[in-house]
Structure 1
């Protein structure tokens, strides 16, 4: 009976030690992963200017950008700088109609895309913050993202080649640096 009790005591001690080890390991991994998790990227439409000349510097895409009507639709084409006409409301309607949904927050900053050899990074840049909109690695490249309260870093890697897009806004407006290693 004493041998059985001793064996049971050993199993209980082993279970407690294993449970403590698993708990400490889970807490450590959870703490590290909570600091690196980010929202899934949202896709932005590719404009005709992007498709024609990918090396040209495109004007920033705004959260309210809308596609222009095609020539075949019968509607006259507007210039890119002309405002859209206001939608007509039925008579007697006092409730404003909601604007188009872009998936971006209402206070989104200027959306800028950075095309690199390793891939494309799209950031929303406010006056004193930045948000990662999307990051897409090019064919054959891998990607890693780090985010904190004052900077975002996206690294692309393929073999020995490295490209880093680093955005910081600690004591100033957001600054973006692209570096090839």
Structure 2
């Protein structure tokens, strides 16, 4: 009986140590990949009445094949609010998957906010010369891609 108890105690300690070490390793790696969440801009009453937005689409069971990537699947909506970095013009891009808002300066851009639509999820990638926001729902993907590496910032929206 005593020998069995020693074995259970040794197994419990070894398992606890393994779980702790694994958690610490994953925590260390994930802490290095986190980014600051985008900041939202306040919308004044005057802007709320003049700013157009299309309702966010919810996924339907019967979907037609996705069209080829095009910049026409999103409407940029200029905003007169000050940007978080006060460097350019804040533009909103409404897509079937959600909304992405960028602060477009003369030589760079910043992500102000990104909000997925109902039933959609979102991922964000950032580098020194581009930002990509991808909305996904099942096999459907909508990508909002802002680049400024070879000139002023430009935004392309693609559905695939």
Bucket of the pairwise TM-score, normalised by the shorter protein: 0.5 to 0.7
- TM-score, scaled to structure 1: 0.55
- Larger strand share, 1 or 2: 2
Q: For 2:76 and 2:124, how far apart are their aligned partners in 1?
A: 26
Q: Which runs of 5+ in 2 are unaligned?
A: 56-71
Counterpart position of 2:65: none
Q: CA deviation at 1:144?
A: 1.2
Q: For 2:100 and 2:23, how far apart are their aligned partners in 1?
A: 33
Counterpart position of 1:71: none
2:78 to 32, 52, 60: 60
Q: For 2:120 and 2:131, how far apart are their aligned partners in 1?
A: 17
Q: For 2:11 and 2:22, how far apart are their aligned partners in 1?
A: 17
Aligned pairs for 1:99-138 within 5 A: 104-138=83-117
> Which of structures 1 and 2 has the bigger CA Rg?
1
Count of residue pairs the alignment pairs up: 138
Q: CA deviation at 1:118?
A: 1.8
**Structure 1 vs Structure 2 CA RMSD:** 3.8
Contact 2:93 2:99 in 1 (8 A): yes
Which gives a bigger RCO, structure 1 or 2 (Cα 8 Å, sep 6+)? Answer: 2
Inter-CA distance 44–178: structure 2 relative to 1 (3 Å threshold): farther
Q: CA deviation at 1:116?
A: 1.2
Aligned pairs for 1:71-110 within 5 A: 104-110=83-89
